[in-house]
Chains A and B, each alone.
Chain A
């Protein structure tokens, strides 16, 4: 026993030493980082572990596919390094610094809003170009002129949802359940409420929960049922939505459930019966069943790689890499340029170029870093996302 423990300790020490000394070298060999000579170094950080890992891993896989494709073509070469930020601001700063040590030239992340607020501040300081696939908070792009988003901002999602409901006359009595402790959820709700009022929608029931008491959302669902809501707006993430849908099913409550891009991924929540998500509508710029050739190829590759249907996060991530590639090609970016040189070129390209991706055609960016593309609603049918219209 003593020997065993001694051996374990020795092993740990060796590992610790290895980790301590060679962090910069080993990081370069992270998955999909085929650091060929002359590759432009892309950094990504996101929640690869923890509660929000669904998004982080989807983004990672989406980016890896895009990088593999681009590298296979020859010409422009990318190396990708993904770091875990555990959806935590402090860890995000550490992840960012680790990426900087690796020699990151362009930041293709982070995935979620709260860490992005920290990383965006650093990127603006260090003049490293940042394009986030899915951090939709408005505050993110306010840090500097070199921070760009490829997803809609939260207010836009709230406004678009309210507009969509009003124009389609989806429901007469609307209930809202939202996470008041979450940046994303609260951000959407605020703008949704304002726009819904302007559109004359009848919001009968607003129920909030926080990160601490989301283990049980039955009260909120029951209240919506009691208020007679025939449309329930769920501006939060998939794990909680799975709970809501499961409970609604047990009390035979079946209004139209309407969500934003956070709901994307509900089909792959562990322990959730996807059949319960039938008929759920969500506002997202990506649907996996699209007849678009590029989308179908991406879906096939993603399924090969991970065994699941990609969600919007994966598609956004894929677009991020291609948008960066397009800007690099047009701007003549080479791997030996410094991060700040690349930054200047990228900012110039992004404010002037038009990009066609999986999540929208003819995307353009304002100088603020906000993207302009048209939202699209999808409905879940037979276990896949199907575009409405």
Chain B
């Protein structure tokens, strides 16, 4: 146990879990005690979703070193799959919690399968090319979903890409109505489920990073040729990261989709992808805790500035620029290092005292 505690990565990971759990417990009890405003209650689930998205994208961008601009595409697949599954299981699965779970797993699986299929041609590309292809993938997905009709009638489930083929019979009801998106969605998403999703995402990503596979993935990132020469199957490891990232994004998307009574495909556009990427870059590439914090702060920031009206959009941009400038400034880094050094010394001293 002592050995485990001295292990740096274990400590660092424990810190992330601790922080997230603490955040959840505080928010959960405040919510139950009725201390949260409606706005804050509304932020809880999206924050969990964006944390999961940022962490899963960080796996791809930070750990694997591949720039992906189509993360919202996976999110969208997950969202609409989740909505369809949840609607189909209505009345068949009693527990809302279970239904949500199945919807999320379903969304994750479909997103993962599509991620795998798209990965076969895409992961042969590198750098900018991969970014462009993922960007195209996200847009294609958005447009396909935007033209998708799905609904149920007495004869069962129907799906088509045009309205003419989509003649619903008696008792027909659209689940996804093409460009009109999904309307009348039953809101199943809950904050505890969001927390579970964040935990699951962290568990998967952190364990993957600190495993043999993770080291191989990092080796591929740092020097592809060197990695290949020691016998690492480059495409296979990149594929692993890509698919895991897609599955997690799909699950987060399903939770997101089931958090609103209506959603349109246009939500999952390039801007959303970039937004998630901003969370990752702001938090620091490869820095999982950074992604968690930046996703939370940057989601709440523009909302908290609502009272500044139109200026909030400008201020949001200013904040982004300043954070970028400051976190990269060597002087600031130096000072942060000094402060954290002092803290860790204090911590160590205490440890010695308690041990002695």
Contacts and interface: CB of A to CB of B under 8 A. Distances in A.
B89 interface: no
Given A90-B267, A139-B184, A142-B184, A15 B261 contact: no
Interface string A10-29: 00100110111011101100
Interface in A80-139: 83-84, 88-90, 93-98, 100-101, 114, 117-118, 120-122, 137, 139
Given A24-B37, A93-B42, A139 B180 contact: yes
A145 interface: no
A338 B179 CA distance: 37
B46 interface: yes
A49 B43 contact: no
Given A98-B306, A212-B139, A114 B37 contact: no
A19 B300 CA distance: 11
Contact of B266 (A5, A9, A20, A211): A211
Nearest to B311: A15
Interface stretch (B97-105, B245-253, B276-284, B315-323): B315-323
Interface string A223-245: 00000000000000000000000
Nearest to A2: B331
Interface residues of B, number: 47
Nearest to B272: A90
Contact of A187 (B180, B269, B308, B312): B180
B185 to A, nearest CB: 8
B267 A89 contact: yes
Contact of A210 (B143, B263, B305, B306): B143
A12 B322 contact: yes
Contacts of B39: 23, 94, 97-98, 100-101
Nearest to A193: B163
A321 interface: no
A183 B307 contact: no
B183 A142 contact: yes
A190 B184 CA distance: 20
B286 interface: no
Contact of A183 (B179, B184, B308, B310): B179
Contact of B304 (A19, A90, A100): A19
A121 B46 contact: no
A114 B310 CA distance: 21
Interface residues of A, number: 51
A274 B99 CA distance: 54
Contact of B261 (A23, A98, A122, A212): A122
Nearest to A124: B261
Contacts of B42: 93-94, 96-97
A181 B180 contact: no
Interface in B153-201: 163, 177-181, 183-185, 187
Contacts of B14: none
Contacts of B46: 90
A118 B315 contact: no
Interface in B175-232: 177-181, 183-185, 187
Contacts, number: 131
A183 B307 CA distance: 30
A196 interface: no
B178 to A, nearest CB: 6
B351 interface: no
Given A89-B262, A114-B181, A19 B307 contact: yes
Given A12-B315, A139-B262, A180 B183 contact: no
A84 B267 contact: no
B309 interface: yes
A182 interface: yes
B263 A97 contact: no
A183 B180 contact: yes
Contacts of A353: none
A23 B319 contact: no
B262 A114 contact: yes
A358 interface: no
Interface in A293-335: none
A267 to B, nearest CB: 24
B59 to A, nearest CB: 24
B33 to A, nearest CB: 17
A48 B322 contact: no
A169 to B, nearest CB: 28
A90 B307 contact: no
A117 B261 contact: yes
A19 B308 contact: yes
A93 B256 CA distance: 12
A183 B41 contact: no
B147 A180 contact: yes
B154 to A, nearest CB: 20
A94 B267 contact: no
Nearest to B318: A12
Contacts of A30: 307, 309
Nearest to B183: A139
Contact of B310 (A49, A186, A211): A49
B112 interface: no
A8 interface: yes
Contacts of B264: 89, 114, 183
20 contacts: A19-B307, A19-B312, A23-B39, A23-B304, A23-B307, A30-B307, A83-B306, A94-B43, A94-B303, A97-B41, A98-B303, A98-B306, A101-B39, A114-B264, A139-B177, A180-B147, A180-B178, A186-B179, A187-B180, A212-B139
Interface of A: 5, 8-9, 12, 15-16, 18-20, 22-24, 26-27, 30, 48-49, 83-84, 88-90, 93-98, 100-101, 114, 117-118, 120-122, 137, 139, 142-143, 180-183, 185-187, 190, 210-212
The 7 closest A-B CB pairs, nearest first, are A121-B261, A117-B262, A26-B307, A97-B42, A100-B38, A139-B183, A97-B38
Given A9-B326, A27-B307, 16 more contacts: A12-B318, A48-B310, A84-B306, A84-B309, A90-B46, A97-B37, A97-B38, A117-B262, A121-B184, A121-B262, A122-B261, A139-B183, A143-B184, A180-B178, A181-B179, A186-B180
